[in-house]
Amino acid sequence: MKTKRIEFIKSAWAEACSEWKTKIENEFTNIDFSNDVLEVGVWYKDTERDYKRLVFITDNSGINNYKGYGFNNDRAWCDDILGFSLDDYQLTKATTEEVETALIKEAKKRGFKEGAACISVAFPLDGIKTIENSIIEWHGNKALFIGNGMQITIFEKGKWATIITKKKMTVSDVEKELGYDKERIK
């Protein structure tokens, strides 16, 4: 069977309901559908590039149209990783430890540490909270918490908590911030 025809059949299978997936699989028994779809709600790593890409799948509506969030090829965090193809990457399921290690490293890089202030991603209406200790925990493959006792959710569903920078400002800093120019006013 021609490659384009196989790609078309796999694409139709990926977008079909479970009943039609079964019908397509029964009709085209010579096509392997098992390795061509990434599961929604699962973390995957790229085994070809020293695990640089680590992505959580949020949508698998097409074989070459995956969406998610995570780390791109440069190990930089991306809120939206869109439209990547399995032809470009060798992705396998990541372990909980691999995901936990990468997210904790990212949290520390972002500045989540004792004494920092942030707004919880899960409870933003609780306002600004000061981090009491720097113990970071990964719970149930879903959220990252910091602190003990009164924990603050710093990562959940692909979103990071907002860190609030506290810095003391002088009168001159405030004037600059507000665009106040003493010379111009005279």
Where is pLDDT greater, at 65 or 133? 133
The three-state secondary structure class of 173 is helix
**What is the pLDDT, as a whole number, of residue 156?**
92
Q: What is the mean pLDDT of residues 78-85?
A: 75
Confidence (pTM): 0.68
- Please give the share of the chain, as a percent, with pLDDT higher than 90: 13
Does an H or E element contain 71, and which? strand 66-71
Give the separation between CA 120 and CA 170, rounded to whole angstroms: 29
Q: Is the pLDDT of residue 100 over 70?
A: yes
- What Å distances lie between residue 57 and 17, 73, 103, 161, CA to CA? 19, 16, 16, 20
pLDDT in tens, 109-145: 999 988 888 888 988 888 888 888 878 888 766 788 8
